[in-house]
C-alpha cells in the first residue's frame, strides 16, 4: 500500500468500516448524538485505507456510529498509514475513551492485555504510553487473566481494584457468589466481604490440618460439642490413671496407650500459627480403661433458651466479622496517614485529636496498651518495628529515631498515634464486647466521615449506639 501523508477526506459511509474498539459496549447517549446532529463532527475520526479502497476507522468509533444514525454522509476522516495501526489504535482509544467517557474496567483490562500479550509491550511501557499509573496497569492485567474478575468487571458497576479482588477466588464458586451479591447490592462492601472470605479460608485450612492430625492419631473427629458429649468423650486434661495417687493428667504423648480416642477443635485468640485453634483430645469409655476424672458427670446447668443461643451465635459472628473488618480498617488508616495533607492534619485531624483527648465519652479513654498503639503507628509510618510479644516492641525507639531524624514528621506521627490509641482497643478481640461494643461508635463514625467504608458489623455498632443514645 502506498504511504501518503495524513489528510482529511470525505468518505461515503458505505465505504467506511469500523475496526475493533477497546470499548466493547458502545453507548450512544442522546446528548452526544444531538451534538453531532447540530454541530457536525468537529474532530474527524482517524482511519486507514486498504488496497480495496475501504476506509477502516481506528479512532472515533462513537462519532462514526452517530454519523450513521443521523445519516451524515459523506463522513470526514483523517486518513493515516497503517504502520503500527493496531498498537496505536489501542493506545489512542484508551486515552480518548478515558478522557471523554470512562471505559468500564473490563474494557480497560482487555485493552492492556492486548498490548502486553499480543504486542509484547511491557507493563512500564503501557503505563508510559497510556499515561497511567503502573499500579493501575498491573491491576488491569491481573483482572484480564482471571475469568471471575473479567466477568465481574463486565457485569457489575465496580472499579478495577474491586474487580481484581475476584482473582483471589477464581475457583471458589461459593466465594464468587458472595462477592457477586455484594457487587450487585453494595459494591463499597466488596473489600470487607473479601476479607471475611480470606479469614474463613485461612480458618478452614487450619481446621483441616488439625482434623488430619486427629485422624492420623487414630482418633475419631467430633465436629461439634454435641457430638463430643453424646459420644461420652472426656478431655484428657481431666483424666488420670485411677491407681495414680498424684493424679498426673494424661498427656497427648500417652494417647497411643489408649483406645476409643476422639478429638475436637477448639477456637481461641488468633495470635499463633494455628490462628487460635487447638485440638482437645478425649477418651471414651475411660473408666473401663482404668482412668479417673475430676470433672465427674457432665454439669447439670439450666439449658440455654433459644434466645440465649441466638445471642451467643450472633456474638461469635460479630467477632468473626470484626476480625476481618479490623484488617481492612487498619490498611485504610495506613493510607490515610500516608496521604494526609498538612492542611488536613492541622485542621480536621487536630480538631478530632483534641476532642478525643478531652472527651470523657470518647473511646480514646479506653486505650490501655500504648505499646500496641506505638506498633500500629510505626507500621502506618512505614517503619520496621519488631513485636517481641508481651508488650515488648522496638516501636518506641524507632519512632523516637524517626522524629529526631526528621522533626517535620511530628504532626503526621501525632495523628497516627492518636488514631492508634483508639484502634489498639477497638481492634482488640480479647475485649469482652469485641464486635459489639457501642463505645467505639464515635470512632467508626469519624473514620467514615474521613472516607472509610464501614463494614456491616461496624455500621451495626453505630446504629445500636444511636438507638441507645449512648454516644
1-103 classified as CATH 3.90.1530.10: yes
- Contact present, 364 and 376 (Cβ < 8 Å): no
- The pLDDT tens digits of the residues spanning 59-107 come to 788 888 899 889 998 999 888 776 555 666 676 666 555 544 456 777 7
Q: How many other CB atoms are there within 10 angstroms of residue 463's CB atom?
A: 12
Q: How confident is the model at residue 300 (pLDDT cuts 50, 70, 90)?
A: very low
Distances, alpha carbon 383 to alpha carbons 93, 210, 235, 408, 415, in Å? 42, 35, 45, 16, 16
- The pLDDT tens digits of the residues spanning 105-145 come to 777 787 777 777 666 778 888 778 777 788 888 888 888 88
Instruction: Give me the DSSP letters along 66-81.
Output: HHHHHT--SEEEEE--
* Helix (H) or strand (E) run with residue 210 in it: helix 190-216
Distances, alpha carbon 395 to alpha carbons 326, 400, 401, in Å? 20, 8, 10
Among candidate residues 41, 96, 45, the one with its CA nearest the CA of residue 70:
41
Q: Where in the chain is the domain with CATH 3.90.1530.10?
A: 1-103
Distances, alpha carbon 87 to alpha carbons 113, 118, 376, in Å? 12, 9, 46
pTM of the model: 0.71
Q: Summarize the confidence of residues 173-192 as an average pLDDT.
A: 95
- The pLDDT tens digits of the residues spanning 305-350 come to 888 888 888 888 999 999 999 999 999 999 999 999 999 999 999 9
Amino acid at each position: 500500500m502506498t504511504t501518503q501523508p495524513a489528510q482529511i477526506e470525505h468518505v461515503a459511509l458505505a465505504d467506511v468500516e469500523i475496526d475493533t474498539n477497546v470499548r466493547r459496549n458502545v453507548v450512544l447517549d442522546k446528548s452526544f448524538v444531538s451534538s453531532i446532529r447540530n454541530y457536525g463532527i468537529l474532530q474527524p475520526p482517524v482511519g486507514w485505507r486498504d488496497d480495496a479502497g475501504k476506509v477502516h476507522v481506528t479512532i472515533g468509533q462513537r462519532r462514526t456510529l452517530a454519523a450513521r444514525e443521523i445519516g451524515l454522509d459523506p463522513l470526514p476522516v483523517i486518513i493515516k498509514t497503517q504502520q503500527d495501526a493496531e498498537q496505536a489504535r489501542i493506545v489512542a482509544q484508551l486515552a480518548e475513551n478515558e478522557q471523554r467517557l470512562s471505559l468500564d474496567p473490563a474494557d480497560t483490562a482487555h485493552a492492556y492485555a492486548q498490548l502486553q500479550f499480543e504486542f509484547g509491550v511491557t507493563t512500564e511501557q503501557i503505563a508510559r504510553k497510556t499515561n497511567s499509573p503502573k499500579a493501575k496497569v498491573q491491576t488491569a492485567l491481573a483482572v484480564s487473566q482471571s475469568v471471575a474478575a473479567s466477568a465481574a468487571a463486565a457485569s457489575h458497576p465496580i472499579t478495577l481494584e474491586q474487580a481484581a479482588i475476584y482473582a483471589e477466588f477464581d475457583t471458589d464458586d461459593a466465594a464468587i457468589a458472595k462477592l457477586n451479591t455484594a457487587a450487585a447490592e453494595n459494591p463499597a462492601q466488596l473489600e470487607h466481604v473479601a476479607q471475611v472470605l480470606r479469614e474463613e479460608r485461612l480458618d478452614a485450612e487450619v481446621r483441616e490440618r488439625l482434623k488430619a492430625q486427629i485422624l492420623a492419631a487414630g482418633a475419631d473427629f467430633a465436629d461439634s460439642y454435641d457430638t463430643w458429649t453424646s459420644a461420652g468423650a472426656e478431655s484428657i486434661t481431666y483424666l488420670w490413671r485411677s491407681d495414680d495417687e498424684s493424679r498426673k493428667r494424661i498427656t497427648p504423648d500417652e494417647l497411643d496407650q489408649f483406645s476409643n480416642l476422639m478429638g475436637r477443635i477448639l477456637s481461641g485468640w488468633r495470635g499463633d500459627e494455628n490462628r487460635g485453634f487447638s485440638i482437645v483430645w478425649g477418651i471414651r469409655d475411660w473408666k473401663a480403661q482404668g482412668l479417673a476424672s475430676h470433672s465427674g458427670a457432665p454439669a447439670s446447668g439450666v439449658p440455654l433458651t433459644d434466645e440465649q443461643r441466638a445471642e451467643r451465635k450472633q456474638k461469635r459472628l460479630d467477632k468473626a466479622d470484626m476480625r476481618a473488618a479490623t484488617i481492612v480498617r487498619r490498611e485504610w488508616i495506613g493510607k490515610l496517614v500516608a496521604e494526609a495533607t498538612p492542611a488536613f492534619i492541622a485542621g480536621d485531624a487536630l480538631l478530632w485529636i483534641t476532642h478525643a483527648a478531652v472527651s470523657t465519652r470518647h473511646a480514646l479513654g479506653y486505650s490501655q496498651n500504648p505499646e500496641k498503639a506505638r506498633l500500629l503507628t510505626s507500621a502506618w509510618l512505614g517503619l520496621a518495628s519488631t513485636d517481641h510479644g508481651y508488650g515488648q516492641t522496638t516501636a518506641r525507639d524507632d519512632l523516637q529515631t524517626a522524629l529526631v531524624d526528621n522533626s517535620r514528621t511530628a504532626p503526621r506521627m501525632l495523628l497516627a498515634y492518636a488514631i492508634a490509641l483508639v484502634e489498639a482497643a477497638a481492634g482488640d478481640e480479647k475485649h469482652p464486647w469485641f464486635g459489639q461494643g457501642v463505645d467505639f461508635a464515635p470512632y467508626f463514625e469519624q473514620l467514615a466521615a474521613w472516607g472509610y467504608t464501614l463494614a456491616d458489623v461496624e455500621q451495626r455498632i453505630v446504629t445500636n449506639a444511636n438507638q441507645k443514645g449512648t454516644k
